[in-house]
Amino acid sequence: MREYLLVLLVAAGVTYVGASLARRFAFRYNAVALVRDRDVHTTPVPYFGGIAMLAGTTAALILATNLPWLGRFELVQRDAWAVFWASVLICTVGVVDDLFDLSAVAKFAGQILAAGIVVLNGVKFYWIPLPDRIIALDNVASIAVAVFVILVCVNAINFMDGLDGLAAGVVGIGAGAFFVYAYLLSYEQDLVRATTASLLTVALVGVCLGFLPHNIHRARMFMGDSGSMLLGFLLATSMISLTGQLDPSRLNASGGALISAYLPLLLPLAAMALPFIDLASAYVRRTLAGRLWYQADKQHLHHRMLELGHSHRVAVALLWLWSAVIAFGVVLVGVSDAWWSWLVLPVGLVVAAGLTFGRRRGGVGHA
């Protein structure tokens, strides 16, 4: 655990310092977010937050592979570096988009190429756990499912990135919940605690913590597509890699409260609940309106929070709360034998709903 904590701190520190440097480059090369009708910021804000995040991820992985404990596991190193090189590619695509506004088709092609790099290096689904059995996937199905999940996660986080600090906070919370699950899963099954999933998620938490001081309202910089796609990609690959480093036959055999056979399916959905909901609703909404799914509008979850009368900061805080309640609530149900653990999630959801839809003072605010 101490090495994981060190990785987190290094990722956070490098990201924080790198963001200041990336901000200067963004101004120099005119990579700034101009004010559009659907935006909530009122002045141009520099991009390139993704470059700082990639720097933090790079530092974390270099450190991890040279530590005495994490560095001695060949599978972790292989998967981590496959994810790293694909992350460089997807971040580069995002940087080019921040500079020149790529078409949706070009960005989608870059996402598929990055997904292809990791799946061809073994980071893919090998099985799907169900309560009564384990379904083994053949090579084609394994690759197809992994690529699909990566594409969904990448675009879901991209859609969620609409308010200062929102995407980084939601991803950091989801990654934190998944780290807790991955670490305790290894502990319960008496497996080595060093997994690619734990390494990537703890580094991702650090990256988000390091970037948030620059991105909290009023943001001094945006992550841009380079950052949102990178975060979605890292979160997706960390979830996928977990299945490749566990013995599926032991999921049902453990029988303890920690490991329920369906939890590996539920937790990724819980960690990404809000981005998934936002992406799915946008697809349905735009399709019914006769538009393409990637054509932007101003009806995302964060826009609706502002329409409810919440200020910018309160809207972000409430969406963070929803993410934390769902992600950590599901983890708690899986890791605890206590009866009260089943009450935390519904009670938390009721509290979040009350704060979201309860009485508010004033109208729409952005302060």
Helix (H) or strand (E) holding 32: strand 32-33
- The position carrying tokens 């120099």 is 28
- The position carrying tokens 């597509």 is 225
- The position carrying tokens 């998967």 is 79
Query: Residue 367's pLDDT is what?
Result: 38
The span from the CA of 145 to the CA of 322, in Å, is: 27
Per-residue pLDDT of the chain (367 residues; tens, 9 = 90+): 788 999 999 999 999 999 999 998 888 888 887 765 555 555 778 888 999 999 999 999 999 988 888 877 887 888 889 999 999 999 999 999 888 888 888 999 999 999 999 999 988 888 776 656 677 888 898 899 999 999 999 988 988 887 888 899 999 999 999 898 888 777 665 566 778 888 999 999 999 999 999 998 888 888 989 999 999 999 999 888 877 666 655 554 444 444 455 666 677 778 788 888 888 887 787 787 777 666 666 777 777 888 888 888 888 999 999 999 999 988 888 777 777 878 888 999 999 999 988 855 444 444 3
Per-residue exposure over 108-139, b if at least 16 CB sit within 10 Å of its own CB, e if not: bebbeebbbbbbeeebbbbbbbeeeeeeebee
Query: Residue 364's pLDDT is what?
Result: 42
SS3 of residue 300 by DSSP: coil
Query: Residue 241's pLDDT is what?
Result: 84
Half-sphere exposure (Cβ direction) of 43: Cα atoms closer than 13 Å: 5
The span from the CA of 199 to the CA of 201, in Å, is: 6
Give burial (CB, 10 Å; 0-12/13-18/19+) of 316: buried
The span from the CA of 184 to the CA of 166, in Å, is: 27
Query: Residue 72's pLDDT is what?
Result: 79
Query: Residue 58's pLDDT is what?
Result: 96
Q: Which two three-digit tokens encode residue 25?
A: 């480059």
The letter for the amino acid at 27 is F
**Nearest C-alpha neighbor of 300 from the set 314, 317, 316:** 316
- Whether residue 332 contacts residue 184, with contact meaning beta carbons closer than 8 Å, is answered with no
Give burial (CB, 10 Å; 0-12/13-18/19+) of 29: middle
**Nearest C-alpha neighbor of 18 from the set 91, 114, 107, 122:** 91
The span from the CA of 254 to the CA of 260, in Å, is: 8
The span from the CA of 273 to the CA of 327, in Å, is: 8
Predicted TM-score (pTM) of this structure: 0.87
How far is CA 211 from its chain centroid? 14
The span from the CA of 199 to the CA of 193, in Å, is: 10
Q: Which two three-digit tokens encode residue 47?
A: 């991009």
Query: Residue 217's pLDDT is what?
Result: 80
Q: Which two three-digit tokens encode residue 359?
A: 């009485």
**Nearest C-alpha neighbor of 33 from the set 49, 51, 53, 21:** 49
SS3 of residue 266 by DSSP: helix
Query: Residue 342's pLDDT is what?
Result: 83
**Sign of the CA dihedral running 73, 77, 79, 80:** positive
